[in-house]
Structure 1
Amino acid sequence: MELTGTKNVVLVDENDHVLGTMEKLQAHQEGRLHRAFSVIIFNDNDEMLIHKRASDKYHCGGLWTNACCSHPRLNEAVKDAALRRMQEEMGFTTSIEYIGQFIYKTEFENGLIEHELDHLFMGKFNGEPKPNPEEVEDFKYIGIDELKLDIEKSPQNYTVWFKKIVADYVGWNV
Structure 2
Amino acid sequence: MEQVVLLNESGEATGTADKATVHHRETPLHLAFSCYVFDDRGRFLLTQRAHHKLTWPGVWTNTCCGHPAPGEDLPGAITRRLREELGLTASTPAPALPGFRYRAVMGNGVVENEICPVFAAFTEHDAQPNPDEVAETRWVDWAEFSERVLHGGAEISPWCFEQVEQLVKLGPDPTSWPVGAEQDLPAAAR
Same fold (TM over 0.5): yes
> What is the match of residue 17 of structure 1?
12
Distance 1:128 1:86, change over 3 A: same
The residue correspondences of 1:64-103 to structure 2 (distance < 5 A) are 64-95=60-91, 96-99=93-96, 100-103=98-101
- State which of 84, 109, 112 in structure 2 corresponds to 1:111: 109
How far 1:149 sits from its partner (Å)?
A: 4.5
5+ residue gaps, structure 2, are: 176-190
Aligned amino acid, residue 173 of structure 1: P
> What is the match of residue 138 of structure 1?
136
The residue correspondences of 1:153-172 to structure 2 (distance < 5 A) are 153-155=152-154, 157-170=155-168, 171=172
Q: Say which structure is richer in strand.
A: 1
How far 1:153 sits from its partner (Å)?
A: 4.0
> What is the match of residue 31 of structure 1?
27
> What is the match of residue 43 of structure 2?
47
Give the Cα–Cα distance (whole angstroms) in 2 for the partners of residues 75 and 150 of structure 1: 38
SS, match of residue 10 in structure 1? strand
CA contact (8 A) 1:35 1:117 kept: yes
Q: Does 1:129 align with 2:127?
A: yes
**1:59-116: CA deviation from partner (whole Å, max 9, x where unpaired):** 1111111111000111111111111011000101212212223111111112111000
**TM-score, normalising length: structure 2:** 0.82
Q: Does 1:8 align with 2:3?
A: yes
5+ residue gaps, structure 1, are: 1-5
SS, match of residue 34 in structure 2? strand
SS, match of residue 101 in structure 1? coil
CA contact (8 A) 1:8 1:73 kept: yes
CA contact (8 A) 1:37 1:72 kept: yes
Give the Cα–Cα distance (whole angstroms) in 2 for the partners of residues 13 and 172 of structure 1: 34
**1:26-65: CA deviation from partner (whole Å, max 9, x where unpaired):** 3221221100001111111111111011111111111111
CA contact (8 A) 2:104 2:159 kept: no
Distance 1:53 1:8, change over 3 A: same
Aligned amino acid, residue 101 of structure 2: I
**Number of residues paired by the alignment?**
168
CA contact (8 A) 1:14 1:117 kept: no
